[in-house]
Amino acid sequence: MAGITKDDVVVTRAGRSADRAGAGRGDDGAVGDDGAVGDDGGVGRVGPVAVLLHGRGSDRHDLAQLAPAFPDAWTLVTPEAPHPGKPWGYGPGSAWYRYVEEDRVVGETLVHSLEALDGLFEHLPEIVGGEPSTVILGGFSQGGTMSLAYAFTRPGRVAAALNFSGFVVDDPAVLLDGHAVRETPLFWGHGTGDPAIPFPLAERGRETLRGLDADLTTKDYAMGHTISPGELRDAVDWVSRRVGPSPRSR
């Protein structure tokens, strides 16, 4: 599988706006429209990289607009999900998997996206213009669910995972092995009034992870299905403490 290539992503240096406006489209747009700044390229080593995955029916431009919240040393990479959303009724954007109900998905659609992310990570130095000092993975809604699934099925591949309003998938493609679950630090923020991924579903997934001794930090917010400014600050502060804002020496 070719995976996700440079043509399928937006690269944004932290502290800047995304390279083009267009966020907030589809069912699961997490943030509103903003200004536009291009990828400035670069060679050699780069600082930390955050790969952020959009929600259902949105696109690669959505979470790029979170870049101003990250420390200046960071680069954000926001890829487009590999499945078109329209055939599944998800709007004009893209999707990471086909949803069934509760915590169940169509497994082969999820696996397809996990393998597409493998291609992205393989080519990440080419995409960002150098070898990242560290890489974290995160996302909103479907993107948060994918981030957890990737961390559990590829333990140690990313330094940390951020889940904004996603859930733990119940599917044979994502078997919850205790060692794999404990390998990656996790941040899970969720709205107590979320109508799309209900809070009780989030709590069920969290309890499963706690039972496996996951390195899990949870934060709850009085909001619906979105990313609030307070949640974003909490997540970025947590990431900065866990993996640092600047390149690690080798």
pLDDT band at 42 (very low <50, low <70, confident <90, very high): very low
User: Is the whole model's pTM more than 0.75, yes or no?
Assistant: yes
Least confident among 25-29, 50-54, 152-156, 190-194: 25-29
pLDDT tens by residue, 51-101: 999 999 999 999 999 999 999 999 999 999 999 999 999 999 999 999 999
Res. 6 pLDDT band, cuts 50 70 90 = confident
C-alpha distances in angstroms, 217 versus 128, 151, 190?
29, 15, 11
Return the percentage of the chain with pLDDT > 90, whole number.
79
Give the C-alpha separation, 225 to 219, whole Å: 14
H or E element, residue 202: helix 199-211
- Calculate mean pLDDT across residues 150-171: 97
Round to whole Å and give the CA distance between 55 and 11: 18
Higher-confidence position of 203 and 3: 203
In the chain, what are the domains? Answer: 6-134+141-160+171-187+194-243 (3.40.50.1820)
